[in-house]
Amino acid sequence: MPHYIGFIRATKDSHDHLGPDEAQRVLENYVAWADERTKEGRFVGGGGLSRSGRVLRASGGGEIGATDGPHTEATEIVGGYQVIEAADLDQAEKIFATHPHLEFGPIEVRKVGDRGCED
């Protein structure tokens, strides 16, 4: 069955209003969502991403340059990802539509390993 990745997107301050207890409950809801997908045999993997990293670019003459990133001027950041199994993009969308993160920001869903334009 094909794999679909959900990129968990948010603004840098989307969770800042949460107190420690609320933040813990949100995290527990995310884990519970993944646990349910595991019980269904759909969860492949996932994880959070650090807020910083490096962006590599090829420059003329075969040189590689690195800059800190993602850039702070971005309005949304990818804070994590989750991979599920689904029959097609429509089913993946329905599954990710139940994710508790949607209260805080969007989830971008894409098929893994398919470089074409179709699902």
Phi, psi of 5 (to 5 degrees): -105, 140
Residue 117 domain-assigned? no
Q: How many other CB atoms sit within 10 Å of the CB of residue 14?
A: 16
Please say whether the beta carbons of 29 and 115 come within 8 A.
Answer: no
For residue 70, say if its preceding peptide bond is cis, omega within 30 degrees of 0.
yes
pLDDT at 10: 85
Whole-angstrom distance, CA of residue 94 vs CA of residue 116:
22
Residue 93 domain-assigned? yes
Residue 118 domain-assigned? no
Residue 20 domain-assigned? yes
Q: Which one of 6-10, 34-38, 64-68 scores highest in mean pLDDT? A: 34-38
Residue 116 domain-assigned? no
Full-model pTM: 0.80
Q: Which domain range does residue 89 map to?
A: 3-111
Residue 90 domain-assigned? yes
Distances (CA, A) of 84 to 19, 20, 39, 78, 103: 30, 29, 12, 17, 20
For 46-66, the pLDDT digits (tens) are 988 887 788 888 877 788 888
- Which CATH number covers residue 30? 3.30.70.1060
Instruction: Tally the domains of the chain.
Output: 1
